[in-house]
Amino acid sequence: MAGLIPEDKIDEVRSAAKIVDVVSQHLSLKKAGRNFLGLCPFHAEKTPSFTVNEEKQIFHCFGCGQGGNVFSFLMLYHNIEFPEAVRMVARKYGIHVTTKGMSPGQKRRLEQKDGLFRINQLAVGYFKDKLLKGSSGKPAREYLRKRRITQGIIEEFSLGYAPAGWDNLIRYFSSIGISLGDVEKAGLIIPKKQGYYDRFRARIIFPIVDIREKVVGFGGRCLDDSLPKYLNSPETPVYHKGRTLYGLSAAKQVCRQKDSVFVVEGYFDLLALNCHGIHNVVATLGTALTSDHIRILKGYAGQVILVFDSDKAGVKAAERSLSLFMEEKVEARIMSLPADKDPDSYLQESGGEKFLGLAEQALPIMGFIIESAINRYGLSLEGKIKIIEALKGPLGSMTNSVGRAVYIKELSKRLDIDEAAILERVRHSSHKKDKQTDPSIRPVANSLKLEETLIAMVLQSPNILSRFNAEQVIESMQSLKLKEIGKMVLDRYSANRLSVGADLVMQTEDPGIRNLISSLMVMDGSWDQDNCLKIVRQYETCLQRRHEKLLSKKIKDAEESNDEVLLHRLLTEKQKCVRGRLGLAQK
C-alpha cells in the first residue's frame, strides 16, 4: 500500500498532519481529557464513541471498531484510495506529492479526478464571466435581482450563467485545448450522433462544492417556466448525489456553532435563507435524503430541521425520512410552512425573524406526520379510520418502543380510540427485523485481556522492549492478531523506527488488525517503566500457570500409564516452574 508513494514522502505528510484538524473538518469534536470525542460518521450512534488522540495521531470508534490514522480516516470517509488520501493531506499542508511509483490504474484514476476537478473549476470561471459581464448575462442578472439575491451571495456561492446556445461551452473548452471527451466525463456536455452539445443552456448555474471545497458538479435553473425547471449534473467519478449536499462547505462552521442545520429542497431556498442571515442551511440535490446525507450532517449539527412543504408530497418525504433518522439515531424535526409557500417565498414576504420563530414550532417527524394526517382526513368516523391506516406504517417502523407507545397514547386521546385497538393495527402492519449485532463488535475474552494490555504497552511505550525477552513473550501469545501486531512492533524496533502507532496502521491491509491497533493505541494506561515491567511479570506468571496446567495434565496421563520415568521428569519440571513463578511474584 505505502509503496505507491515514496516512504519518506508519506512520513513527511504524516508528520505535518494534525489528525484533530483534519477530522474536525468533517465532524464536531469535543475535548475529553487527553482525547477528543464525536459522533462516529461510520455507524449510527447517539452517544459519542468516536475517539481521536492528538498525541498519538490515531482515531478509534469503540462503537463500530473502525480505527486508524489520518489517512485511514479520509479513505473511509471519502471512499478513496490511499494515494489520494495522502495527496489530500499533502495539499492541506502545502506538500507536493508526485505520482511516481503508483500502479498505472491508480495513477490513471487520480489523474482523471484531478482533470475533472480542473474542468469543473474552469467551467465555474466561464459561467461567472458570462453572468457578470456582457449583454448575454443581462437576463440572468435581472432574474437574480428580481429574486433579491444580493451581489455578496452571488460571489460567495460563485453563481454563473450558461447562455442560450448549443455549443458555447464546447467552443470555450476547445479554444483552450481541453479534450471534449473529458468535458463529457465531467457531465457538462452530452454526446450526439456527430459531436456534442451543451448540457446547460439559458440557465442560472449553481456550482456544487464538496466538503473539500472542490467543485464536483453543477445545477441549473431556467429563467422562465420551461421544463425541466432544474437540471443537475449526472453522476461522475467525482460527483455522487447521495453523498453531496449543496452549501455544506459554506455552512459547516455555522452549523457547528448553532448545533443545528436546516435542510431545504431548492437552491434558491438556500440562497434566500443566506440573504436573510440564516447560514446554517444545506439543500438536497434533486434527490431524497439518504443515510449518507444524514450521517454527514450529524458530524456538524446535533439537530436537523427539515423544511418541507405541508402538502401530500411533503408528508411522503417526511415518512421516507423517518426510518432513516431513527436508524442513524439523529434528532430531526419538521418545520411546516403555510400552504403554497416555500422557504424562498415565505422569507420574501415575512422575513428571517418570522422564519426562525416558525422554526421554534417545528415538530418531531412522527408528530408532523400525525398532525398532517389529522389535518388531511379530519376527525369524522371515516376520517379516524383513514388516519389509523395512514399512520400504522410510520408508527410500526419506529424502533424505539417507548417512543411508539407515547405517540400511540397521544393518538388515542386525539381520536378517542382505545390504545389497544391502535396498537393491534400497528403491530399487524409492522415487519421490523430483529436488530443484528454488528459483527465487528465482539466482547474481548478475559483470557486475552492481559495480552491486549501487553501489546498496548509496547505500542505506546516501545522502548520497554529492551527490558525483557520480547520475542519470546510475543511468540507465546494465543491471539494470532495480537501476535502479528507484536511482531510488527519488534520489526520496527529492530530497525530503529520507534514511531510505531500511526505508522503501523498503514503497514497492514488487514482492516481487523488496523482497527485493533487503533483501539490499543487509545487505551488508557500508565506506561512508565515500573508499571510496564509489572505488566510483563504478570504475563510471564500467566504463561507459567498455563505451562503448569499442561504439565499437570501430562503428569496425570503418566500416572495412569504407570510410566515412572516420564512421571519423575514431569514432576521435576513442574517444581522448577513453580519455583520460577514464585520468583517472578517476589520481583
Kindly report the length of the chain.
Answer: 587
Residue 292 confidence (pLDDT) above 80: yes
Distance of CA 463 to the CA centre of its chain: 36
Question: Which residues does 420 contact at the CB level (< 8 Å), separation at least 6?
Answer: none
Instruction: Name the pLDDT band for 446 (thresholds 50, 70, 90).
Output: very low
Which pLDDT score, from 0 to 100, does residue 518 have? 85
Summary mean pLDDT of the chain:
84
Under the banding of pLDDT at 50, 70 and 90, the label for residue 520 is confident
Of the listed ranges 13-17, 182-186, 321-325, 429-433, the least confidently predicted one is 429-433
pTM for the model stands at 0.67
CA-wise closest residue to 479 among 446, 436, 524, 509: 446
HSE (CB half, 13 Å, CA atoms) of 403?
A: 15
Q: Looking at residue 2, what is its pLDDT?
A: 42
Residue 347's pLDDT band (cuts 50, 70, 90): very high
- Residue 582's pLDDT is 57
Amino acid at 498: L
Residue appearing with cell numbers 498532519: 17
Taking 80 as the threshold, does the pLDDT of residue 510 lie above it? Answer: no
- Closest by CA position to 282, among listed 355, 210, 222, 223: 210
CA distance 577 to 583: 10
Half-sphere exposure of 348 (CA within 13 A, CB side): 16
Grid cell, residue 404, equals: 411508539
Q: How much is the pLDDT for 444?
A: 34
pLDDT tens profile 312-323? 666 677 777 877
Phi-psi bin for 399: left (phi > 0), alpha (psi -120 to 50), beta? alpha
**Cα distance between residue 362 and residue 306, in whole Å:** 9
pLDDT at residue 538 tops 50: yes
Question: What pLDDT does 309 receive?
Answer: 64
Mean per-residue pLDDT for 284-308? 86
CA-closest candidate to residue 367, choices 325, 430, 416, 339: 325
- Residue 71 clears pLDDT 80, i.e. is over it: yes
Q: In the chain, what are the domains?
A: 2-102 (3.90.580.10), 105-239 (3.90.980.10), 255-429 (3.40.1360.10), 446-586 (1.10.860)
pLDDT, position 131? 96
Please give the pLDDT value at position 427. 83
The confidence score (pLDDT) of residue 442 equals 36
pLDDT band of residue 150 (cuts 50, 70, 90) is very high
| Per-residue pLDDT reduced to its tens digit, 367-400 | 888 888 898 899 999 999 999 998 888 888 887 7
As a whole number of angstroms, the distance between CA 535 and CA 539 comes to 6
- Give tens-digit pLDDT for 84-125: 888 889 988 888 877 565 667 777 887 888 899 999 999 999
Q: What percent of the chain has pLDDT over 90?
A: 34
Please say whether the beta carbons of 292 and 272 come within 8 A.
no
